[in-house]
Structure 1
């Protein structure tokens, strides 16, 4: 599976991002790894204020409430919370799956090897249409 992080500024423009292949037996783990990638990418980019949006409501609720009771993702959620402390402001928000089309596009094209490795810098036309 593919884990995707897309960094956008307050105007919705892509300012960075990453995609990587991950091995996991659970979609919950893959989604938690994607959030950790999001937050870690923002740390590397030197951002100070971030809003992390994703479409897994249960995962949002666990991270926001610091509830690490779901054993499959508890370690990754702990990493996410530790990384979140590196920001002046860090919040997590649920968005419907339909609002996550850009990340889905990157994941599909990355998986099929049709996405250039420099997609965050030279944003492909297909991705621009979704932004």
Structure 2
């Protein structure tokens, strides 16, 4: 889903993480792990206060995750995040909300398969 352009890259990443947490809750997931290669993941796991401009969104994420039975945030390197990167690029060219629960877009499938092996 497109996100209106905020002030910084960290703000965009915080909003994207927030939307992911909201979506997971909305579809009824109870045990989740959110992966990312951004400072946002580190801010959520360390509570460092380094991202003052995103603090309100981070605090909202912290409240939302209380509704999950099990939740984790995992920092992964950018090259291990190829699927998320491809989906982010894909959404730039598409309009509106898109959800794939059972089928993967054909252009993303090779990246998912590579991730599984």
Scaled to the shorter chain, the TM-score interval is 0.7 to 0.9
Distance 2:90 2:42 in 1: 29
Query: 8 Å contact 1:50–1:90 — kept in the other structure?
Result: yes
Where do 5+ consecutive residues of structure 1 fail to align? 1-18
Cα deviations by residue, 1:69-126 (Å, 9 ceiling, x for unpaired): 521110010011011101010110100111111122122122123x895551442111
TM-score after normalising by structure 1? 0.75
Where do 5+ consecutive residues of structure 2 fail to align? 113-117
Q: How many residues align?
A: 111
TM-score after normalising by structure 2? 0.83
Distance 2:11 2:96 in 1: 25
Q: RMSD of the TM alignment (CA)?
A: 2.0
Stretches (4+) displaced over 6 A: none
Partner secondary structure for residue 21 of structure 1: coil
Would you tell me which structure has more strand in proportion to its own residues? 1
Would you tell me which structure has more helix in proportion to its own residues? 2
